[in-house]
Amino acid sequence: MVFSERLKALRREKRITQQQIADRFGVTKSTVSRWEKGSFEPDTEKLKEIADYFGVTVDYLLGNDENQENKDKKNADLVDLLEEIKKRPYVIDPKTGEAKYIPKERLKIINDLIEGYLREEGILPDEGEDCARSL
Tell me, yes or no, whether 72 and 86 share the same domain.
Answer: yes
Instruction: Kindly state whether residues 81 and 119 are assigned to the same domain.
Output: yes
Digit-coded pLDDT (tens) for 14-66: 899 999 999 999 999 999 999 999 999 999 999 999 999 998 889 889 988 66
79-127 pLDDT per residue, tens? 888 888 888 888 888 899 999 998 999 999 998 998 888 888 777 777 5
**96 in the same domain as 78:** yes
* In a shared domain, residues 50 and 11: yes
Long-range contacts of 114-122 (CB under 8 A, 24+ apart): 114/78, 114/81, 114/82, 115/82, 117/78, 118/75, 118/78, 118/79, 118/82, 121/71, 121/75, 122/55
Domain that holds residue 6: 2-64
What is the rounded end-to-end Cα distance, in angstroms, of the chain?
43
Evaluate if residue 134 carries a pLDDT over 60. Answer: no
Cα distances from 111 to residues 49, 79, 101, 119, 130, in angstroms, run 33, 10, 15, 12, 8
Residues 94/121, Cβ–Cβ less than 8 Å:
no
60 and 72 assigned to the same domain:
no
Distance, in Å, from the CA atom of 16 to the CA atom of 36, rounded to the nearest integer, reads 14
Same structural domain, 16 and 60 = yes
Same domain, residue pair 85 and 103 = yes
Give the end of a domain, one of 64, 79, 106.
Answer: 64
Residue 50: the pLDDT is 96
**Domain count within the chain:** 2
Residues 13 and 53 in one domain: yes
